[in-house]
Amino acid sequence: MTDSLQLRSEYPLQELNTFGLPAVAEYYTEIHAADQLEQLEQWLKRHPMPLLLLGGGSNLVLADRVPGLVARILIRGWHRSDLSASHVRLRVGAGENWHATVEKSIEQGLYGLENLALIPGTVGAAPVQNIGAYGVELKDRISAVEVFDRQEQCLRDLSPEACRFGYRDSLFKSIEPERYIITAVEFSLARQFTAELSYAGLREGLGHDPVTPKRVFDTVCRIRREKLPDPTEIGNAGSFFKNPVVSADLYQQLKHRFESLVAYPDTDGYKLAAGWLIDQCGLKGFSLEHVGVYPRQALVLVNLGAARREDIERLARHVQQMVQERFGVRLEPEPRFYP
């Protein structure tokens, strides 16, 4: 029998969001098993209020006070089954740590996630953002997402197509953000390793020695540590802005004005490197009181100490304005501002 919900009021969230913002939840609970979600729904029917689902807190910018109920998803689990001679299904609980899951999959001889190493957060949060790095997007590794459907009041599996994955986007983020609670994610992973080396920085980092899954994993970790701050040491939410996609015409205009423009072909035109745009505005290392742009990676905004939501909003607006004025391109934040 699963334990009943334990609710606490005025619960501090500063240690539960990677920006380290001093948020306080009106109510807080933890979900350790999927069958607790029915209890959660029953409680919310009796006490109607907003619900925020919390994983690793790595993609959130929280207000000082978070109204309603914050439910931290801590569902564990790891189950593998044969899909074919070449592939295995791996179903992982939503509350499992993402990086630890990548590492464990490699140890068990299951390949496909190694390029996504060291991304902060939980397994359940990964599909919401459709995380991606070094030439791999999560959507290409998912075979199903197990959810609790709050509308139908049941557990069900959603296919990758039903998840409506896009660039750092999904059904769960922008289409029906209130309907589903992710309880597990199922991956289709290969028994034989095939390296994804389309990202030039990763190829260069690997050098000329034989490429193995562990070497890809270790190289990705090293590159990320060189560029990105550890949230346990400097509060941040990782990449703060999405790489903007522009039309081919605008790309050609910008390329004519800025010969060193960093961009990649995209189905809708060209994807510009947001970090490069910010860097060209002279903002790398820039600070506004309690917040700043990380000196090693302009795409990352950091908490320099005692930052609050309004400080981050002010810095983000300044960065957006500078890039808009110089390049005529609007940057869109990647983290979710709540509420």
Catalytic residue ranges: 168, 239, 334
Q: What is the DSSP string of 202-249?
A: HHHHHTTSPP-HHHHHHHHHHHHHHHS--TTTSEEEEE-BPPPEE-HH
**Residues contacting 191, CB < 8 A, separation 6+:** 85, 86, 87, 88, 109, 110, 111
User: Which residues, in sequence order, are bridge partners of residue 136?
Assistant: 133
Closest residue by Cα to residue 298 from 319, 317, 278: 278
Q: 263-272: b or e for each residue (b if 16 or more CB lie within 10 Å)? A: beeeeebbbb
Return the DSSP state at 328.
S
Q: At what angle do helices 213-227 and 98-107 cross, to 10 degrees?
A: 160
Residue 60 CA to residue 337 CA, distance in Å, equals 6
Q: 66-86: b or e for each residue (b if 16 or more CB lie within 10 Å)? A: bebbbbbbbbebeebeebeee
Residue listed under structure tokens 């995209």: 266
Residue 192 CA to residue 125 CA, distance in Å, equals 27
Beta strands in 74-199 (DSSP E): 78-82, 87-93, 132-133, 136-137, 142-149, 154-158, 180-190
Is the separation of the CB atoms in 66 and 338 below 8 Å? Answer: yes
C-alpha pair distances (Å), 297 with each of 178, 190, 274, 312, 319: 33, 33, 10, 17, 14
Residue 197 CA to residue 264 CA, distance in Å, equals 15
